[in-house]
Amino acid sequence: MPRPIGAVIHTAALAHNLARARAAADGARIFAVVKADAYGHGIERAYPGLRGADGFALLDIAEAERIRALGWRGPVLLLEGCFEARDLEACSRLALWHVIHRAEQIDWLARHKSAVPQRVFLKLNSGMNRLGFAPEAFRGAWLRLSGLAQVDDITLMTHFSDADGAPGVAAQRAAFDAACEGLAGERSLCNSAATLRFAPADAALRADWVRAGILSYGSSPDHPLHDSAHWQLMPAMSLRSELIATQHLAPGASVGYGSTFTADVPMRIGVVACGYADGYPRSAKAGTPVLVDGVRCRLVGRVSMDMLTVDLAPVPAAGVGSPVTLWGRDAQGRVLGIDEVAHGAGTIGYELMCALAPRVPVSAD
């Protein structure tokens, strides 16, 4: 028997979450963001659930090739654009749209020989200060691009740094509106957090395209302010395993490396076949929830490479072979949000799903 761990990708949940994006961004078209191998879900496994999107946004040509190989003929956007001039040949060959965020990328386009002009997304740095033209350089970049025979159409875009938090999008949005005033072209502003929090009440913010990443996978972009149930999202990835041993701790006995957890009463401990080499965060603190037989238990002791340990007090009938859900939903549909687990580890759902380890077998349902 193989080691009893596995991840399940839920096709129906992906489609459901995409429908949530559509409802929130009514009238806009939706890019399903599938960078980082579809946030750890696997592009090929996620595709059947996400093929109802209007386009796919991703990072590099290898990922774009994979989406095209699945038969997708619609829009594909490279979110960081080209990394060198010859990437433009792949853009022509695969009909990719690409972000232009610095002047050199325009130089490459001006020298690119192609019969078919390309669609580009001109990116404004509205305050995130990672990629994009400064507001004072934006109009010049637009003018240069619109004078090139190699360019077919220019979409104006920006990316929010604080859509999930208290500052919100107002300041960056105002910077975008000012920089784009009078410029022709479609617009794209919203990530998941902006789509769910602000787009429903604001058609200009929804604009022409939203870029739905994390929400597609069922994690709340603004946890712990709101959880995924609040946004009516369903987990698209479940990480499941089983108990492979149980232990009794007498008061004063400890469990795991470093003896970081010591029982003060007699305890029953379940040993789960899942550790940090499977992608479960070693930083998860005691108390992080784990479902055993569908019942919420707490992690105790240090997460090791191949195992972690839980307090079985809430589920006395559990024993070797009992099903364990580390995040997502169990076979009976009981859900443990990935965001809650991430919170227990001082991180975010994004990082956990992206870090699912290659040794974990993955299936889709």
Ligand X SMILES: *Cc1c(COP(=O)(O)O)cnc(C)c1O
Q: Which stretch binds ligand X (CB under 6 A): 40-48, 185-193, 247-255, 330-338?
A: 185-193
Q: What are the structure tokens assigned to 54, written together?
A: 């209007």
Regarding 221 and contact with ligand X (CB under 6 A), the answer is yes
Q: Which of 5, 9, 28, 33 binds ligand X (CB under 6 A)?
A: 33
Nearer to ligand X, 89 or 162 (CB): 162
Q: Going by DSSP bridges, is the β-strand pair 323-329/237-249 parallel, antiparallel, or unpaired?
A: antiparallel
Among positions 47-106, residues that touch ligand X (CB under 6 A) are 79
- Distance of alpha carbon 228 from alpha carbon 225, whole angstroms: 10
From the list 101-109, 174-182, 211-219, 289-297, the region that binds ligand X by CB under 6 A is: 211-219
Sequence-distant (≥ 6) Cβ neighbours of residue 86 within 8 angstroms: none
Q: Which of 125, 191, 241, 322 forms a contact with ligand X (CB under 6 A)?
A: 191
Exactly one of 214, 237, 239, 345 binds ligand X (CB under 6 A); which one? 214
Asked about 35 being catalytic, the answer comes back as yes
Residue 39 vs 276, nearer CB to ligand X? 39
Closest separation between CB of residue 264 and ligand X, Å?
Answer: 42
- List residues bridging with 290 in a β-sheet: 297
Which span (61-69, 200-208, 209-217, 331-339) binds ligand X, by CB under 6 A?
Answer: 209-217
Query: Binder to ligand X among 118, 125, 192, 238 (CB under 6 A)?
Result: 192
Q: Is 34 helix (H, G, I), strand (E, B) or coil?
A: coil
**Catalytic: 123?**
no
Q: How many CB atoms lie within 10 A of CB 226?
A: 17
Residues contacting residue 223 through CB under 8 Å, at least 6 positions apart: 337, 339, 340, 342, 343, 348, 349
Q: What would the DSSP string read from start to end of 40-105? A: TT-HHHHHHHHTTSSEEEESSHHHHHHHHHTT--S-EEETT--SSTTHHHHHHHHT-EEEE-SHHH
- Contacts (CB under 6 A) with ligand X, residues 154-173: 159
- Cβ proximity of 233 and 17 under 8 Å: yes
How many residues form the binding site for ligand X (CB under 6 A)? 12
CB of 211 to ligand X, least distance (A): 4
- The answer to whether the bond into 224 is cis (omega within 30° of 0) is yes
Mind telling me the catalytic residues?
35, 257
Binding site for ligand X (CB under 6 A): 33, 35, 79, 159, 191-193, 211-214, 221
